[in-house]
Homo-oligomer: A and B are copies of this chain.
């Protein structure tokens, strides 16, 4: 049998209420009885039962992080940043991978009365009405870019990709590049694409020469083989580009591989940039110049927003800045 609060009370010679007061120090307690209770707790190795506790407090102190695909190295540090901040406030956080239908997770979140959810998965994996159901059921939600949602209902952390794309093009421009391709991988079904908008703006601002945007298959392409395939496609269309910006580091890796196989050296013959700064970017050959997302920071900001929402009720918004990290996949044009 499980040792309960009643056992502790009996051993300490106090009431069950007193045990609660001591454990939650929710009320002044005589130092003497306090000690007796604590000793009894120690002796019986008593652990409060969160299930029973949740039932009465209406707080589970449990949070969930929902990611697309646990394999994606981009998420690792975001989750870490979130969890570290959450643990500090006493929350238990668990990660859910969106391999199966994410909507089903939502049902579970409601049944289990989670206090809050951080959803990193893209909109393609679930239905927005289901997300609102969570909110209606009192579960606070913070989302991460990529999802159009009512900011009065859910909080949001976003990355400033538009500015970052401007910086990326600027970096290549300063190296003398004028003919730049953008391997986007996004398809037309994406309504609002800040990276694409940023690229188009930059094309005008810097008065670039030849430019092209390579789209992917619906709903979107974003993995190593996608980068490989789109880079091959680029070469088959036109070889005049001296630099390529890729949607993310994964695609940059694939693109570099494609260029190498076609006899182009990176960066001597063609410069390649990525986005995100996933752990492998630094170890790739050549190490990839990228627009880094401060990932752990983004995660901790997400928790902050969620916490405010849980405690005060209001949603919030945070825009994350990216940083250029120069490595070896970009160099002076035509050198």
Contacts and interface: CB of A to CB of B under 8 A. Distances in A.
B95 A70 contact: yes
Contacts of A254: 283
B47 A51 contact: no
A111 to B, nearest CB: 4
B49 A111 contact: yes
Interface residues of A, number: 50
Overall SS of chain A's interface:
helix
Given A52-B55, A55-B52, A73-B73, A94 B64 contact: yes
Contacts of A51: 51, 54-55, 60, 112-113
29 contacts: A47-B110, A47-B111, A47-B137, A48-B111, A49-B111, A50-B108, A50-B111, A50-B112, A51-B51, A51-B54, A51-B112, A52-B55, A62-B112, A70-B75, A70-B76, A70-B79, A71-B76, A79-B97, A87-B104, A94-B94, A94-B95, A94-B96, A95-B97, A225-B283, A228-B283, A254-B283, A257-B285, A260-B285, A280-B280
Q: Which 3 A-B pairs have the closest CB atoms?
A: A94-B94, A71-B76, A95-B95
